[in-house]
Amino acid sequence: MADTFRITLCQLNPTVGEIAGNAALARDAWEQGRAAGADLVALPEMFITGYNAQDLVVKPVFHKAAMAAVEQLAKDCADGPALAIGGPWFEDGCLYNAYLICKGGKVASKALKHHLPNETVFDEVRIFNAGPLGGPYSVGNTRIGSPICEDAWHEDVAETLAETGAEFLLIPNGSPYYRDKFETRLNHMVSRVVETGLPLIYLNMVGGQDDQVFDGASFALNPGGGLALQMPAFDTAIVHVDLERGTDGWRVKDGVKTAQPDTWEQDYRVMVQSLRDYMGKTGFKKVLLGMSGGIDSAIVATIATDALGAENVRCVMLPSEYTSKASLEDAEACANALGCRYDYVPIAEGREAITNTLAPLFAGLEEGLTEENIQSRLRGLLLMAMSNKFGEMVLTTGNKSEVAVGYATIYGDMAGGYNPIKDLYKMRVFETCRWRNANHRDWMMGPEGAVIPDNIITKAPSAELRDDQKDSDSLPDYPVLDALLEMLVDNDASVADCVAAGFDRDVVKKVEHLIYISEYKRFQSAPGARLTKGAFWLDRRYPIVNRWRDPS
């Protein structure tokens, strides 16, 4: 029996639906493992299709193509280490989320996911059949157990594998980021190690898919919970991990232990990575956005620059008579600090034409919200025209506080293809700006230093759609609003809970009402980076038509 075992861990970034491209990534990784003398080359959950592929996996022609690609990989990788890769597997009328072990030119073993997540962004119960509790597979004379992602969050799969002879656990994952999730993962995996007494290797993918970002941060634990390996968060990486067998069984030899970034950096990295991969995987190269001189458009412009490079970001100032001199100066200063193109496109002439066109219909009626929204919708029209002409995707700039209560104009400033700050509350926008001004990392394509002028961060927020307008005219002050939204949206608190926490009941009821009546806007809003388990999209699914209100 061998006393050492080498696994090549492939923390890589697949693309949903790009089966041939994902197979090529797997083949290249296998070649690196073979060159390094690996016994096994391991890739994450559902790697061959990309993840989360949702109902696409159910389409027979799709999962058959994925299975065929794995079978071809098995043939191509026959002469060398075994290859473990996640993918769909259909047999006996059932579709499984499977971990496929290729050796000897064929798919020699299969682990089938038993616990199918049916919460937050996952609907695997509607897609896959649950596999049975199974035993380990063999690579050489070594028996390996592979609970697939969710399976490792429950005791029974790992315990069954240990009882049926697994010598260590290799856990393939498609685990997307939410704030502080790494600690949750680590706690669960320590539990599995303590319960089974086996070493554990946790392999996660990286990269963005729609609203989700898979953050990698793969690691290995030895019995007792000692950390033997910590791979970087968010970066692609291929690492050769050695296990050594002694009188107490297998142990993972100490490897690199990359420090994890703090929460502010992780959130910012997610917003950058999600936009970068959304662009790269859909084929867009450039973006544009309305640059108002406010804090939201400033941070979106900064994220876009860090994701794509200044040469691929167009900032457009679309002033009306209500746009202040300070906003004009701040918008230009921020665009110049970032190095982006800055265009000045006044809307006065277009607004006058629209006003004149509607004058006969609106005669005798008081001006108000309608006229304010015309400004926003005219800006959306002009940005979309530029998008069509230049082939640049429009970014929307509404923060989570605004998205929650509908403080945005549908078909106006909500018009666009992606929103990097959709899950970032307003108060966190302020702190994120300060963090970015003080920090720079090598994964940022934008310049170092304070790229967001201090005046943008410190001035009172305003939509500038009428004279002397402030956001606080329509909404509670943002510290109050955000605290309420975290309770009502993120934590599903009741009105009574909010009142008990010290909030005025009338204010709570107003915010609750705004959340519910804004559902139709969110249903039509652009996707955006998911930072929390309470993100507006797959995490929170409410009916558009809804007359219920909390009576407490």
Q: Point out the residues that are catalytic.
A: 45, 113, 149
Q: Which two tokens stand for residue 85?
A: 């890769």
Helical (H) or strand (E) element with 185: helix 181-196
CB 158: neighbour CB atoms within 10 A?
25
d(CA 321, CA 326): 13
Pull the structure tokens for residue 112: 């089938």
Chain mean position to CA 110: 29
Backbone φ, ψ for residue 210 (5° rounding): 55, -115
Cα maximum dimension of the chain? 92
Q: Where are the beta strands (DSSP E) in 205-311?
A: 206-209, 212-215, 219-222, 226-230, 237-246, 249-252, 287-290
Angstrom distance (rounded) from CA 510 to CA 505: 9
> Whole-angstrom Cα distance, residue 95 to residue 296?
44
What's the distance, CA 73 to chain centroid?
A: 29
Which pair of tokens denotes residue 382? 């002009």
Cα separation of the two ends of the chain: 67
Euclidean distance between CA atoms 254 and 61, whole angstroms: 44
Question: Among all chains, which residue has been given the structure tokens 């955006």?
Answer: 528
Query: Cis peptide before 336, with omega less than 30 degrees from 0?
Result: no
* CA–CA distances in Å: residue 522 to residues 395, 465, 537: 15, 22, 8
How far does CA 493 lie from the centroid of its chain?
25
Sign of CA dihedral 421, 422, 423, 424: positive
Burial zone of 300 (CB within 10 Å; 0-12 exposed, 13-18 middle, 19+ buried): buried
Alpha-carbon gap, residue 518 to 204, rounded angstroms: 36
* Continuous segment of H or E residues that includes residue 35: helix 19-35
Q: Can you list the positions of beta strands (E) in 373-414? A: 393-394
SS3 241: strand
Please identify which residue in the block is written with the tokens 């519910």.
516
Those residues whose C-beta lies under 8 Å from the C-beta of residue 116, and which sit 6 or more positions away, are 97, 122, 124, 125, 127, 128, 130, 150
CA 280 to chain centre: 15
From 303, 321, 323, select the one nearest 313 (Cα to Cα).
Answer: 303
* Residues 433, 298 contacting (CB under 8 angstroms): yes
Burial 249-279 (b: 16+ CB within 10 A, else e): ebbbeebeebebbeebbbbbbbbbbbbbbbb
